[in-house]
Amino acid sequence: GISRNGCRLDFPEFNQDSNLTKHTNLPDLPACFQLSVLPWTPCIYLWLASPFYILYLKRNNRGYIMMSILNRIKTVLGLILWIVCWTDLFSSFHEMSQNQSKPPIYFITPLIVGMTMLLATFLIQYERLKGVQSSGVLFIFWTISVLCAIVLTMETALPANGVEDKLRFTTFYIYFGLTLIQLILSCFNEKPPLFSSVVTDPNACPEITAGFLSKMTFWWFTSMAIKGYKSPLENKDLWSLNKQDSSELVVPNLLNEWEVEKSKAQRYKFKQKMKIFISFHNHCHTGSIKKVVNEVLLSKRREVRQPSFLRALLRAFGPYFLIGSAFKLLQDLITFVNPQLLRLLIDFTKQPNAPLWWGYSLAFLMFGTSLLQTLILHQHFQYCFVTGMRLRSGIIGAIYRKALAITNEAKRSSTVGEVVNLMSVDAQRFMDLTTFLNMLWSAPLQIILALFFLWQNLGPSVLAGVALMVLLIPFNAFIAMKTRTYQVEQMKHKDDRIKLMNEILNGIKVLKLYAWEVSFKEKILQIRQKELTVLRKTAYLSALSTMAWTSAPFMVALTTFAVYVTVDEENVLDAEKAFVSLSLFNILRFPLNMLPQVISSIVQASVSLKRIQDFLSHDELNPESVDRRNNASGNGADVVNGTFSWAKQDQATLDNINVMVPQGSLLAVVGHVGCGKTSLVSALLGEMEKQEGQISIRGSVAYVPQQAWIQNATLRDNILFGRPYVEQRYRCVLEACALTPDLEVLPGGDQTEIGEKGINLSGGQRQRVSLARALYSEADVYLLDDPLSAVDAHVAKHIFDKVIGPEGALKGKTRILVTHGISFLPQVDNILVMVDGRVSEMGSYQDLLKQNGAFAEFLRNYSLEDIIEDDEFGCPISLCVSLLFCCRQISIMSNDLENPKKMSRRRRCSERKHPESPTEKKEPKLEKLIQAETAETGRVKFKVYWDYAKAVGPFLSLFICFLYGCQSAASIGANFWLSEWTNDAQHNRTQDQVSMRVGVYAALGISQGVLVMFSSFTLALGKIQAARKLHQTLLDNKFHTPQSFFDTTPIGRIINRFSKDIYVIDEVLPSTILMFLGTFFASLSTMIVIICSTPIFALVIGPLALIYFFVQRFYVATSRQLKRLESVSRSPIYSHFSETITGTSVIRAYGRNAAFVLMSDMKVDENQKSYYPGIVSNRWLGVRIELIGNCIVLFAALLAVIGKDKLSPGLVGLSVSYALQVTMSLNWMVRMTSDLESNIVAVERVKEYSETQTEAPWIVTDKQPPPDWPPKGNVEFADYSVRYREGLDLVLRNISLKVEGGEKIGIVGRTGAGKSSMTLCLFRLLEAADGEIVIDEVKISEIGLHDLRSKLTIIPQEPVLFSGTLRMNLDPFEKYSDEEVWKALELSHLKRFVSNQTSKLDLECSEGGENLSVGQRQLVCLARALLRKTRILVLDEATAAVDLETDDLIQSTIRTQFEDCTVFTIAHRLNTIMDYTRVLVLDKGQIAEFDTPTNLMAQKGIFYGMAKDAGLIV
């Protein structure tokens, strides 16, 4: 019972009683301890915490909460508790008055506890008034109180000789009951406070209202986990971002701190200057000039103090981050409690008569500390990740706002790509760093603590183990360095491969026509081979480092134990020492591995910091440089004595400019290229550095830049540009800008989504949209920078009349028009002529003509060109037809949408609006829009894993698993041996076997290391095998895919398979598998060890595994979808950003900065909205999985206590130290399963494109035609029909004709008549739907494609060249000698050009042959044809690309060189085919006329009409 002789304040009994305690069956703590330390613990905690807490509540008031029943009960209970405590106090006084002397502790304890209960009651009410819904402080207080009370209950439970002190017994139990009720009540939440603005959001994050317990265990996230498990998450399921994480709060906060930093730096500079000035002044009198100069130089060195972005970051995000650091500190300290408890537990099993309660309490203490560690660690992570997230928001916001304001000079120094990189890469680096940053002080702390405990345990022999650990660090560093160099090399190969692949896919049609696939496939495979070689080296290196990483802890343990046993005869290795040391070594492993990583990531982040700081310190445009207030002069725009340059230190681009534009007039600015017209417009917008003079503009501005800037939004949004939609006005604007006809052609009218940079509009359309935006904005001053150059003459005229001119929509507004079009000049009010950055003359058209100055000369130069231009538009219709034809080509080859280089041709056509069938243009586009890329949702099918295993090789896969099993077995063996060895200590047979024990232990451990290395090596072999196979099948299939596939699939999608997905298969997937196997076998071996030592543990595994499985399924389903949503919402941030940078001048001119900043913030928040649940899902998972791990620890310890008589201390140590490690493996295993699922998708996607339908075989062996086939070149179409793809209409219907060898046939017809289809049929790019083609008695449908295509030659309409040497472009298979190649070049008129080049035939062609002119490229195609010299030649005449001269060259060469061959020419210019043998006229896919040209002219049919249109008949 409670011993009466009580406690004098010097506690003498502590020492005597400690032995007594441990060995009785029931714990009997000394009375003094019961009465002082236990009740005081919670009180001390509350009194320490409450001042800080009250201060915090004072500052963060959330509005008060109404009195609720819950609150009333809590308060009443608090008061009752106070009364109960004081009852004790008064009973003590009562006893004293009856002369029973009491030790002072009986008065002090009730007094203190009573006061504390009053404080708690006060806090309950105070929290209510400040709007706290659930209190952490009080929850912890009640928890501690209950725990202490439980210990006391165990004391007073069964007093042997009845209850002596009835009153205290009752009060104590009342006290215990009430604190328990308070604890339970404090788990519940109060109602939200009144008048709070928190929950106006329909989809608010439940975290805001979550209680303390829910926040600690992340229980509030469960609803999303369940939702994600039932069906894939969508955007609408995501919670809104917490207010304090949104850009709206984070960015201004950071920017304010940054402004403070900048002003500090400014002040500092100013002070320095003052110092210099004063010292100069003083020394001038004394005359020591030299001294002054020195001082000035010194201070110059000091002066360059840049504002520090780091300080701004620390001030903005530091305080929040420090809370996380505090959690980390706590967690580090708790980590070391468990090894100490393990020591006590092993000690306990050694003593045969130790009481069981001691063992149980140890087991529960272990569980408790593990649990506490889990909760604290995840709180720390949560704080770190949220800091990282805010950092990213802040940095992106700051960079975006800066990018809108920087000068052109600054823009020049950092390209769009670099700035986007700042946003994506550098901001990301900071984000990653925040999670590790605490390791910088935590790792050394953990290392020091671990070493301290180890030293206590084993003495100086620890140093041997530590030395080994330190030696491993440079080894790992060396491997990391090598790996990095290999990675760089591999990136290079990968880029080369993708670049070549991109070219191949862009020119796939040409490769098929020439039958060149094999040679290009070889080229790709060569690069791939290099890539795989580097991969193999990297894999071997990583296998080495994996080995070092896995066997390090073991080697350390081995050296330490070996040294310990051999140093001194007296040293005995017992279970306590061995297993406690092992668990400490395991703690050491993590910080030692993390330190190098943290340091390298800090280095990277510091580089990023410097880049960001430099960018944020750029100069900004001065918004005051243009005076926007209404100027007195009444002019629309004035420039007085203006001198402007693009950068501060450049010489002036515009010099001494004086311009006055009267309100409402139209001023034209003309001059030669580069004379400063655009600069003048920029100066008026305030985009240039003003060196002197002043500018004023009256009212708002609208600006049309020379290169139209189009946003990636709908056409309507591009025109409205943030202004409200007014139907009437909008229609007028479209009409005036000639956009109405275009809307009919676009698939979605004005709701068509315009691609980035306006990729799916022609140049002219873009320019007109830009103009429409200006017109719709209804500004006062219009600055139009050459808006008419990109459009055709008649469109230009329409726009000038309807919009700009004296009768246009803008009449009465001030307009400044930069133009080259001379025809409009007579109609403008004033003309400003610029020469070399100066105004040379200004006045009306008539005045300037009379002056006969620069302007008159300008007119003379230009008018000639203008006349020619005009003539071209009255051009023959055949040209128009040809242009339409090229339009159609483009709409069929949807590739062009991806390839902006081909836009130029398209621009020419879409401007001429001829009646053409709109359906033809629309269909492919619509179809393309429909075929969206399929994203797999839900679980990955087992078949995909099997596919990968097959690619690795089924036997190899099994062998890898087998090796992993062996290595786990070896490690378990080594540890079992250790436990046997430690048991020697009990039986005192230690010394005799030391060398044998050490030897076997070493052998087992080293064999484990070797096995690890083997398994990593085999895995490396397997992964390279798989990477090679999967890429090979994908490549083979893509070369064998029919043309129609490439027409309907965007190239980007195919390239994606070759780059991203192959990269995942090469690098990401194998490492994920490695980690997965590692963690899986680690978890497995833990279970095996525990079951071996305490078989009953098997019963517990079932339920735990079930919980584990469920948590894992919930997590994987949810987190996979969150990752998808996050990556989908990430790209808009960057694309919007790069778009903004290219359009800054437009955005600033229209004054839309704020709106764009808001848009960017919304996009960032949208991304963080899916990122935040992603972080929390990891925390949620962590807490739950680690709880399972902690349960394993609990059961392992409990079972060890129960079976302590049967178990040796060695086995107990073994099973519990294994259990302590298991949480980490379990946690990683779930992550790895989830990563494995998201990465294995790459295999699925590659498989999908490796199994598309293929074209006919390249070579059919039993049907191979003779080598000299075709001898004559007769071609016969027999009842031939063809369609482009299944389900489309026939393009050619029942064509029958015979062509004799050596005939020259011209093919003509209107657009869409099927001319080009005929040639495609000859090459079997289109397979027959009906009928057949026979060439010299061989049916072409029966022979192999290469046999057929290599015997025909085509000179295609668009000359396609590949990057490589000229020689390779002419003869990729190297079949011909150099002389033959030179002969071909000579005949194709290229010899002079090539022989002038230094590298001759090895002249490097750049991608697409950009470094040759279009005409030269066409001649290269001719040279190809001359080299092949086959019996049948198809000439698809080039349309707009080639000048007439080149065209004549080609025609004459063909007439002479291909005299005896059969030639088919698709003609656009009829004069080329007037001397052909026969002409075939197609109409709607059928033969309309087929005869000699003269006969056809006589028939006066279709051909006659075409010739007449072409002006061949007068």
* Higher per-residue confidence, 638 vs 822: 638
Residue 793 burial (CB < 10 Å; 0-12/13-18/19+)? middle
At residue 511, does pLDDT exceed 70? Answer: yes
Q: Is 400 left (phi over 0), alpha (psi -120 to 50) or beta?
A: alpha
Q: Per-residue DSSP letters for 554-582? A: HHHHHHHHHHHHHH-TT----HHHHHHHH
What pLDDT was estimated at residue 1442?
A: 54
At residue 1166, does pLDDT exceed 70? Answer: yes
Most confident range, picked from 193-207, 443-457, 570-584, 1468-1482: 443-457
Q: Per-residue DSSP letters for 1005-1064? A: HHHHHHHHHHHHHHHHHHHHHHHHHHHHHHHHHHHHS-HHHHHHS-HHHHHHIIIIIHHI
CA distances for 188 relative to 208, 214, 219, 748, angstroms: 15, 10, 13, 55
CA distances for 999 relative to 974, 1004, 1009, angstroms: 11, 9, 15
What CA–CA distance (Å, rounded) separates 673 from 653? 14
At residue 922, does pLDDT exceed 50? Answer: no
What CA–CA distance (Å, rounded) separates 945 from 948? 5
Averaged confidence pLDDT in the chain = 81
What pLDDT was estimated at residue 1438?
A: 59
Q: Give residue-wise pLDDT tens across range 1326-1347.
A: 888 888 888 888 888 888 888 8
Beta strand 1352-1355 pairing with 1304-1309: unpaired
Q: Give residue-wise pLDDT tens across range 189-238.
A: 877 776 655 556 678 888 888 888 899 999 999 999 999 998 888 888 89
At residue 902, does pLDDT exceed 70? Answer: no
Beta strand 1404-1405 pairing with 1364-1365: antiparallel
- The three-class DSSP label of residue 77 is helix
What pLDDT was estimated at residue 28?
A: 56
At residue 163, does pLDDT exceed 70? Answer: no
Backbone angles phi, psi at 658, to 5 degrees: -125, 115
Q: Per-residue DSSP letters for 1344-1355? A: -HHHHHTTEEEE
Beta strand 1328-1335 pairing with 1338-1339: antiparallel
SS (HEC) of 526-550: HHHHHHHHHHHHHHHHHHHHHHHHH
Residue range 255-275: average pLDDT? 89
> Which of 1261, 1427, 1275, 1226 is CA-nearest to residue 1346?
1261
Collect contacts of 408-412 with beta carbons under 8 A, ≥24 apart: 408/646, 408/647, 408/687, 408/688, 409/619, 409/646, 409/647, 409/648, 409/650, 409/689, 410/618, 410/619, 411/1141, 411/1144, 412/647
Residue 978: alpha-carbon gap to chain centroid? 48
Q: Give residue-wise pLDDT tens across range 1375-1405.
A: 888 888 888 888 888 888 888 877 778 887 7
CB-based contacts of 216, cutoff 8 Å, min separation 6: 375, 379
What CA–CA distance (Å, rounded) separates 365 from 356? 14
Beta strand 1290-1299 pairing with 1478-1483: unpaired
Lowest mean pLDDT among 71-80, 333-342, 1184-1193, 1465-1474: 1465-1474
At residue 1116, does pLDDT exceed 50? Answer: yes
Residue 651 burial (CB < 10 Å; 0-12/13-18/19+)? exposed
What CA–CA distance (Å, rounded) separates 482 from 485? 5
- The three-class DSSP label of residue 287 is coil
What CA–CA distance (Å, rounded) separates 617 from 625? 20
1491 membership: H or E segment, kind and range: strand 1486-1491
At residue 871, does pLDDT exceed 50? Answer: no
What CA–CA distance (Å, rounded) separates 703 from 709? 11
What pLDDT was estimated at residue 1483?
A: 84
- The three-class DSSP label of residue 806 is coil
Q: What is the percent of the chain where pLDDT is above 70?
A: 87
Structure tokens at 536: 């193999």
Q: Give residue-wise pLDDT tens across range 1273-1305.
A: 888 888 888 888 777 788 888 888 888 888 889
What pLDDT was estimated at residue 687?
A: 86
Could you count the other beta carbons within 10 Å of the beta carbon of residue 1325? 19
What pLDDT was estimated at residue 1443?
A: 60
Asked whether the bond before 1270 is cis by omega within 30 degrees of 0, the reply is yes
* Higher per-residue confidence, 758 vs 144: 144
94, 165 Cβ separation under 8 angstroms: no
Residue 644 exposure: Cα atoms within 13 Å on the Cβ side? 30
> Which of 303, 583, 296 is CA-nearest to residue 1193?
583
403, 620 Cβ separation under 8 angstroms: no
Model confidence at 27, pLDDT cuts 50, 70, 90, reads: low
Residue 911: alpha-carbon gap to chain centroid? 39
What does the CA dihedral 1158, 1160, 1164, 1166 come to, rounded to 10 degrees? 70
Q: Give residue-wise pLDDT tens across range 1057-1094.
A: 888 888 888 888 888 888 888 889 988 988 888 888 88
1292, 1282 Cβ separation under 8 angstroms: yes
* Helix (H), strand (E) counts: the chain: 53, 22
- The three-class DSSP label of residue 610 is helix
What pLDDT was estimated at residue 1253?
A: 85
Burial 34-43 (b: 16+ CB within 10 A, else e): bbbbbbbebb
Q: Give residue-wise pLDDT tens across range 1195-1244.
A: 989 988 888 888 888 888 888 888 888 887 888 888 888 888 878 888 88
What pLDDT was estimated at residue 937?
A: 55
Q: Give residue-wise pLDDT tens across range 945-1004.
A: 998 999 998 999 999 999 999 988 998 898 888 888 888 766 665 556 778 888 898 898
What CA–CA distance (Å, rounded) separates 557 from 1213? 15
The reply to whether the predicted model has a pTM over 0.85 is no
Residue 670 exposure: Cα atoms within 13 Å on the Cβ side? 27
CB-based contacts of 267, cutoff 8 Å, min separation 6: none
Backbone angles phi, psi at 1355, to 5 degrees: -110, 105
Model confidence at 910, pLDDT cuts 50, 70, 90, reads: very low
What CA–CA distance (Å, rounded) separates 331 from 1052? 49
Q: Give residue-wise pLDDT tens across range 1251-1279.
A: 888 888 888 888 888 888 888 888 888 88
| Terminal Cα distance for the chain, rounded | 132
Residue 1212 burial (CB < 10 Å; 0-12/13-18/19+)? buried
1473, 1512 Cβ separation under 8 angstroms: no
What pLDDT was estimated at residue 366?
A: 92
CA distances for 1258 relative to 515, 658, 1340, 1341, angstroms: 9, 72, 12, 12
Sign of the dihedral through C-alpha 592, 594, 595, 597: positive
> Which of 1419, 1354, 1358 is CA-nearest to residue 1387?
1419
What pLDDT was estimated at residue 1502?
A: 84
> Which of 1508, 500, 502 is CA-nearest to residue 1050?
502
